[in-house]
A and B are shown apart, each in its own frame.
Chain A
Amino acid sequence: MLRASLLLLVLLVLTGCSGDWGWYVVDPTTKKGMTNLRFLISGLYYTVLLSVTAIVISIVLGLLVALPGLSKNRFLRGFNRVYVELVRAVPILVMILWVYYGMPQLLNITITVFWAGVIALALSDSAFEAEIFRAGIQSIDKGQYEASHTVALNYVDTMRFIILPQAIRRILPALGNQLVYMLKMSSLVSVIGMQELTRKANELVVTEYRPLEIYTVLLLEYLVLILIVSAGVRWLERRLQTTDRST
């Protein structure tokens, strides 16, 4: 799959050179093309850093929101519902604009583009993570809690050693999906000036006037990135499966 898409990239470059495509802008054999290509790929750093930071925060946040949702206490469950419903209702682009332009005024702070992006993406995603965790934890048999009780595990240990390890194995595919989703949504942070893949492409298009070629490269950049991530998630799933023989 990965090799196929790389091949596709090469083919496009080769055929494009002789058509009415203007591949020269990103032709790695010329100095100019190479410089442009480097410029485009340099956005990768922030795309990955932003997405990974945001997903880590949103997983932690999602778990912290999911746990009260499983409580017997009505108010804790209510908190979970309100959080999920409210956060889920905000479009990601709106969240980004609000966190970058609105929130600093509200809290009287300054915020960098990077952290605004991280917070906005993490918040948006946390509602979905919370629902994934809640479903995963609820899928664990009640007998696991009862057995934990009989070997004197407290709530925190029960969650940490018994429930979450099993739940996470089950929700791993869903968590992988969220990471892919996050990588794609990080392109929206370009609107506040984050120097990630999409922003770089936009800037190059303005100077080179070759949107077709540059955005095609951008598209392929995301494609390759996400195929790599998907392969990684599948590898992790297989690895965890060999240590979990529950049926």
Chain B
Amino acid sequence: MQQQAQQIIQMREVSKFFGSFQALNSVSIDVQLGERVVVCGPSGSGKSTLIRCINQLEIHDSGSIVIDGTTLDGSKQSLRAIHANVGMVFQQFNLFPHLTVLENLTLGPVRSGQQSKSQAQELAMNYLERVRIPEQANKYPAQLSGGQQQRVAIARSLCMEPKIMLFDEPTSALDPEMINEVLDVMVELAESGMTMVCVTHEMGFARRVADKMVFMDFGAIVEMSDTAKFFEAPESERCQEFLQQILPH
């Protein structure tokens, strides 16, 4: 029981269908407060669907998802639990192109009534400093490089002061020279104790920050283990093959 109080995400036998296609097949996973989980697996294996279910961008068809003690059932209360707890960073950044960087960061906190405009701006500048682009505050997203845009997106999520950050392949749309500036920010975030669920194929990053590794295939979790064990002695054959393919030899 004591352990359960710390579980901020609890997924039990979650399944998700797109029409007749099963994208998630009875997935169960627990994430503790402060834990860092990295999810990997081949394309189409359901990684995005998994983390999108956590903030209900996709509504699961069966099983249960509990966030910080609130069961996600489509109610107003569960929506509030998501908004209060879960931030998300997308592969395509999804910044608001017609708003400045600062406006991108303050709109959510101000409109959700969390903060006054000046409080929100101050907080936004703090986070822009943390992602090392305070000087870009008054620019528009299209005036920034991809790496800078993704760092703005991370700061935008952090401004909502979430307990959990979800990342869906945050560096996959970036040119190689920009990947590290984003990963560095994510490493710092991990070191600050943020709970993170991260879909990525950056295995160097995973080794460095992950407490737990998850390998998915065909909508199911094939392997879930501590990071060290995952890389040294993966149990399943499919996971071994996958690692061989993506790890440098």
Contacts and interface: CB of A to CB of B under 8 A. Distances in A.
- Chains A and B come from one and the same complex: yes
Contacts of A147: 90, 94-96, 153, 156
A136 to B, nearest CB: 13
B206 interface: no
A3 interface: no
A152 B83 contact: yes
B209 interface: no
A105 B235 CA distance: 82
Contacts of B156: 147, 151
Interface string A180-216: 0000000000000000000000000000000000000
B86 interface: yes
B98 A166 contact: yes
Nearest to A142: B94
A243 B157 CA distance: 23
B127 to A, nearest CB: 13
Interface in A109-168: 141, 143-144, 146-147, 149-153, 157, 161-162, 165-166
B124 to A, nearest CB: 12
A144 B156 CA distance: 13
Given A146-B90, A247-B142, A151 B108 contact: yes
A150 B157 contact: yes
A158 B204 CA distance: 37
A160 to B, nearest CB: 9
Contacts of A157: 111
B108 A246 contact: no
| Chain A interface category by residue count | 20 to 34
A134 B116 CA distance: 34
B104 to A, nearest CB: 9
Interface in A202-247: 243-247
Interface in B26-42: none
A77 interface: no
Interface residues of B, number: 27
B98 A153 contact: no
Given A153-B112, A244-B97, A246-B97, A143 B160 contact: no
B107 A151 contact: yes
A146 B57 contact: yes
A166 B107 contact: no
B55 interface: yes
B107 A161 contact: yes
A71 B88 CA distance: 25
A169 interface: yes
A137 to B, nearest CB: 14
Interface string B1-35: 00000000000000000000000000000000000
Contacts of B143: 245
A151 to B, nearest CB: 3
Interface in B103-117: 107-109, 111-112
B101 to A, nearest CB: 12
Contacts of B108: 151-153
Nearest to B86: A150
B88 A165 contact: no
Given A149-B57, A150-B88, A151-B156, A244 B111 contact: no
Nearest to B56: A149
Nearest to A242: B140
B157 A166 contact: no
Contacts of A244: 97-98, 140
Contacts of A243: 98, 140
Given A150-B86, A150-B88, A162 B111 contact: no
A147 B111 CA distance: 14
16 contacts: A143-B90, A144-B96, A146-B90, A147-B90, A147-B95, A150-B157, A150-B160, A151-B109, A151-B156, A153-B107, A153-B108, A161-B107, A165-B98, A169-B98, A243-B98, A245-B140
Given A150-B157, A153-B107, 10 more contacts: A143-B90, A147-B96, A150-B160, A151-B112, A151-B156, A152-B160, A153-B112, A169-B98, A245-B97, A245-B140
Nearest 10 A/B pairs, CB to CB: A151-B108, A246-B97, A152-B83, A143-B94, A147-B94, A245-B142, A152-B112, A245-B140, A150-B88, A244-B98
